[in-house]
Homo-oligomer: A and B are copies of this chain.
Amino acid sequence: RVHMRGKPIDPNVNVEILARRTPGFVGADLENLINEAALLAAQRKKKQITIDELEEAIDRVIAGPERKSKVVSEEERRTVAYHEIGHAIVGAVLPNADPVHKISIVPRGMHVLGFTLQLPMKDKYLMSKEEILDRLAGMLGGRAAEELVFNKITTGASNDLENATKIAKDMVCRYGMSDKIGPVSWGEDNGGEVFLGKQIARMPNYSEETASTIDQEIKRIIEESYKRAFDILKKYRDKMNDIAKILLEKETIEGEELDKLLKGELELDHNGNDTKVKDVARENN
């Protein structure tokens, strides 16, 4: 399925693994990916596109080209490193989060100071409430790490907060996953209105009282998920330092090394080592 026609690709490349690393990619993204890889191979004077070029190309398509020349302060590098490690550890501990296979603090594009690459273990059609709550905790792991390690918070988490809030809103308004709201669907019938190509005047179809309850539920879900992430990271505070030391030196950790670092000594949360998580889940059930 991957678009590789007419370009010399190393026959050893495992197309399946490659496809797994590019969830959400559509045809144009894949075209883009191969072009980037071909350019890299040319720069590196290789005759074939190898797995190295393809992996670098994936990162470029997701986060932009490397900008090692970018002047990032040591303080910023450390903040970014712990932020990304926060995502990775929470993702490794929670049973339903997709595993992280790469962390990088190489600056990329205009705004990216670091990123984590999560590979979905399998294609998912249904998401249970518990799975979504695990995802939320993973998303908030970056901010939680900043607060835990540096006792300060930065603007760097604004994207995570925005995504987490959207997901929490869907839980409450579309999926009936809040007890206070119940199995009611609020606000969806205006969702498709479009004017000159843009959604316009999306007026909620519910009362202020409902709006207020929705907001409280979103806030509760986000705050509980944040607390879960924070508590998990507190438990693995030393592990964070170990990984950070390596990450700050190497700038990128991936594959087996990352797996070993992340999972080696972690107990999976569903093995009963974290009663807090179960409490949250039961309370929300």
Taking Cβ atoms with an 8 Å cutoff, the residues of A that contact B are 71-73, 76, 79-80, 111, 113, 122-130, 132, 140, 143, 151-158, 161-162, 164-166, 168, 174-177, 181-186, 188-190, 193-196, 198-203, 205-212, 214-215, 218-219, 222-223, 226, 285
Complex CA distance for A109 and B199, rounded to whole angstroms: 27
Contact yes or no, B215 A212, CB < 8 A: no
Contact yes or no, B206 A215, CB < 8 A: yes
- With a cutoff of 8 Å between Cβ atoms, the chain B residues found around residue A193 in the complex are 198-200
Contact yes or no, A143 B73, CB < 8 A: no
Known: A152-B130, A161-B184, A174-B158. A207 touches B212 (CB 8 A): yes
Count of identical protomers in the assembly: 6
Contact yes or no, B195 A200, CB < 8 A: yes
Contact yes or no, B127 A155, CB < 8 A: yes
Counting chain B CB atoms within 10 Å of each CB, the highest count among A80, A184, A210, A211 belongs to A184
Interchain residue pairs with CB less than 8 A apart (11): A76-B126, A111-B125, A126-B154, A129-B153, A157-B183, A161-B176, A162-B189, A165-B188, A195-B196, A196-B196, A207-B215
